[in-house]
Amino acid sequence: MSKHSIQSKSFLVFFGMAMTLSACSNISANVATPTPRLIAAASPQRQTLKATEERKQTRREDYKAIALSKLGNAGNLVGSEPKAIALRVFRKTEPERGKSEVTVDYNYPKAVVIVTHIGLADDSLRDIRYRAEFVATSNTVPPDQVWSLVWAGSQFKCRIGRGHQDWSSELCS
């Protein structure tokens, strides 16, 4: 094996370890709200729009509440991982084309999962975003931790000519 090949592998191992440590420190920080990410070259207006978008994603009052009874039986709303529960509950609207994004914010004993489906195969609805709020219902630690879905809501983006083009709790026409 060449010296260059060994150095490349060493760098990749070091880089992987650094990324893992960085991810772990972000998870353990238990930050309640995401830090706005600003692009240095972006205009002040673009930065303001980005910050506004992040606020709309994180505030419960910007979502249309969903009755938990409509999401399935109580057993489907409880589990050891909030992300897995949210994906199970909101899978029915996954895009046929497009993509899905999931973010999880832990602030023990609470967790918030945002599931976004972009590019839905629907004549009026273009994108949908769900907010799922969880509470830890046991005093154990992972993997034995039990989480329960306590609140859910949705936001929508409409197709052109069918309503609003920004995220809103208002239904599309």
Lowest mean pLDDT among 27-36, 77-86, 92-101: 27-36
Average pLDDT, the chain: 77
- Same-domain status, 7 and 67: no
Q: Of 49-58, 77-86, 87-96, where does the model show the most confidence?
A: 77-86
Cis amide leading into 143 (omega within 30) = yes
Cα–chain center distance at 140: 24
Query: How many structural domains compose the chain?
Result: 2
- Same-domain status, 9 and 79: no
Q: Express each pLDDT in 97-150 by its tens digit.
A: 789 999 999 998 999 999 999 999 889 999 999 999 999 998 887 778 899 999
Residue 22: pLDDT above 90? no
- Same-domain status, 24 and 66: no
- Same-domain status, 23 and 86: no
d(CA 56, CA 62): 6
Asked if residue 115 lies in contact with residue 134, where contact means CB atoms within 8 angstroms, the answer is no
Confidence category of residue 6, pLDDT binned at 50, 70, 90: very low
| 127 inside domain | yes
Q: Which domain holds residue 26?
A: 1-30
d(CA 67, CA 94): 20
Q: What pLDDT was estimated at residue 89?
A: 94
Distances (CA, A) of 9 to 18, 19, 163: 14, 15, 52
Percent of the chain clearing pLDDT 90 (strictly above): 51
